[in-house]
Amino acid sequence: MPSLAERLAVPPVTTVFERMSALARETGAINLGQGFPDLPDPPELIAAAQRALAQRSNQYPPMRGLPDLRRAVAGWYAQHQGLALDEGNVVITSGATEALAAALLALVRPGDEVVLVQPCYDAYQPLIERAGGTVRFVNLAPPLWTLDPAALTAAIGPNTRGIVLNTPNNPVGTVLDRAALEAVGALSRDHDLWLVCDEVWEGMILDGNAHLSALAIPALADRTVKIGSAGKIFSLTGWKVGWAVAAPPLVAAVAARHQFLTFTTAPALQWAVAEGLTLPPEWHAAHRARYIQARDAFVAALTLAGFHVLPAAGTWFVTIDLAASALPPDDQAVALRLVHEAGVAAIPVSAFYAERPERGFLRLCFAKDDDTLALAADRLAAFRRQA
């Protein structure tokens, strides 16, 4: 029988985001690691939350979320993604993280195998394993990070029950196109798989294209749980208002787990997000435009300094190819040197791998004000000159 200490030793104890933010605080480095904006909060949302706190009930909202918010989520997806949904397709959670946990607890049985695509967000594997499942990894191919349907097919075995995808992708910012999602649809239908599609970055596609949801693919519509986050749509990461969207039987299974994870989410924030989601498309376009400006200025400064920045469609991140930037191709070592020697914290992309990592790439968050980005770019340029 393992001791208590052995039973508590579940690696990793803290996420790479926590570790890099702590290191940035200790060293006083500019924190381009953990993904959060330091641009002004949207005033419409702050005012709506203040009004709701003062004027609405602060007691338990309904377990599945305020009907107004569930309708607003469905309405936003109809308007921005052409999806035909209603409040019966939506459960509100405490952030996308809880939606992921509830979905994976609902879908994974002990012994089930789940396919993950690397680089992948850090929460998926521990949640699947906590539910008793095991993971098989498929790697995206750099530098374009395309998903090879044949590699996905090869990862499907007799015990495979589901796939987790993330589009746009954190950390590398690429999106799955219709052909890739249709290939996943055909595979899921043939093998009777479920799909959890983490689409939290759907509001931050910065290349002018519309987001394509897995729910828009007919073969996936009844077997997909789509995950969303107001934290990303409105740049309010601390609010932790998220949701899962799916066909009614799937959403009921997710809600049954949400019921015993957090039961519900702060009502004032739910009211504020409901109001925010009914803001006109022009509001969202202007919100995105601020991030496009930040990304363009930062990429231009990095490129001028000799860095090779990989193309990406969205998120708050850009990725540097270290070897193509004439830097040593060991992302962990470079990230540590950067924080200590240059005063800039970044996230090594290899932290998004559990096996067979790509080590030559670094993720930088550009969701910062102009002066912070300019100073960070100067520091990175000086580091590269002497590295």
Phi, psi angles (nearest 5°) of residue 97? -60, -45
**Which are the contacts of 227, defined by CB distance < 8 A and separation ≥ 6?**
96, 99, 100, 103, 196, 197, 198, 199, 200, 242, 243, 244, 245
Minimum separation from the CB atom of position 244 to ligand PMP (A): 11
Q: Which amino acid appears at position 183 of this protein?
A: A
Minimum separation from the CB atom of position 85 to ligand GLN (A): 25
Q: What is the DSSP letter of 205?
A: B
CB burial of residue 2 (10 Å; 0-12, 13-18, 19+): exposed
> Is there binding between residue 199 and ligand PMP (CB under 6 A)?
no
Minimum separation from the CB atom of position 289 to ligand GLN (A): 22
Residue 349 CA to residue 331 CA, distance in Å, equals 7
> Is there binding between residue 231 and ligand PMP (CB under 6 A)?
yes
> Is there binding between residue 350 and ligand GLN (CB under 6 A)?
no
Minimum separation from the CB atom of position 360 to ligand PMP (A): 21
> Is there binding between residue 35 and ligand GLN (CB under 6 A)?
yes
x/- binding map, residues 94-123, to ligand PMP, per CB under 6 A?
-xxx-----------------------x--
How many residues at the interface with ligand GLN, by CB under 6 A? 5
Task: Let me know how many helices (H) and strands (E) the chain has, helices first.
Answer: 14, 13
Phi, psi angles (nearest 5°) of residue 211? -75, 135
Residues 140-179 that bind ligand GLN (CB under 6 A): 170
> Is there binding between residue 34 and ligand GLN (CB under 6 A)?
yes
Nearer to ligand PMP by C-beta: 231 or 314? 231
Residue 254 CA to residue 244 CA, distance in Å, equals 8
Minimum separation from the CB atom of position 99 to ligand PMP (A): 8
**Which are the contacts of 336, defined by CB distance < 8 A and separation ≥ 6?**
none
Residue 317 CA to residue 363 CA, distance in Å, equals 6
Nearer to ligand GLN by C-beta: 71 or 363? 363
Residue of 198, 202, 331, 358 that binds ligand PMP (CB under 6 A): 198
Q: Which helix (H) or strand (E) holds 174?
A: none
Q: Can you list the positions of beta strands (E) in 46-159?
A: 90-93, 113-118, 134-139
> Is there binding between residue 276 and ligand PMP (CB under 6 A)?
no
> Is there binding between residue 310 and ligand PMP (CB under 6 A)?
no
List, as one string, the DSSP characters of 301-336: HHHHTT-EEPP-SBSSEEEEETGGGTS-S-HHHHHH
Minimum separation from the CB atom of position 41 to ligand PMP (A): 15
Q: Which helix (H) or strand (E) holds 165?
A: strand 160-166
> Is there binding between residue 160 and ligand PMP (CB under 6 A)?
no
Nearer to ligand PMP by C-beta: 33 or 343? 33
Rg (the chain; Cα; Å): 21
Task: Answer yes or no: are the C-beta atoms of 311 and 225 closer than 8 Å.
Answer: no
> Is there binding between residue 15 and ligand GLN (CB under 6 A)?
yes
Nearer to ligand PMP by C-beta: 125 or 325? 125
Minimum separation from the CB atom of position 306 to ligand GLN (A): 26
Residue nearest to ligand PMP (CB): 95
> Is there binding between residue 188 and ligand PMP (CB under 6 A)?
no
Q: Which of 375, 370, 376 is nearest to 345 (CA)?
A: 376
> Is there binding between residue 229 and ligand PMP (CB under 6 A)?
yes
> Is there binding between residue 325 and ligand GLN (CB under 6 A)?
no
Residues 205-264 that bind ligand GLN (CB under 6 A): none
Residue of 15, 79, 81, 237 that binds ligand PMP (CB under 6 A): 237
Phi, psi angles (nearest 5°) of residue 175? -120, 155
Minimum separation from the CB atom of position 101 to ligand GLN (A): 13
Structure tokens at 381: 């340029």
Q: Which helix (H) or strand (E) holds 123?
A: none
> Which residue ranges make up the site for ligand PMP (CB under 6 A)?
35, 95-97, 121, 166, 170, 198, 200, 229, 231, 237, 240, 242
> Which residue ranges make up the site for ligand GLN (CB under 6 A)?
15, 17, 34-35, 170
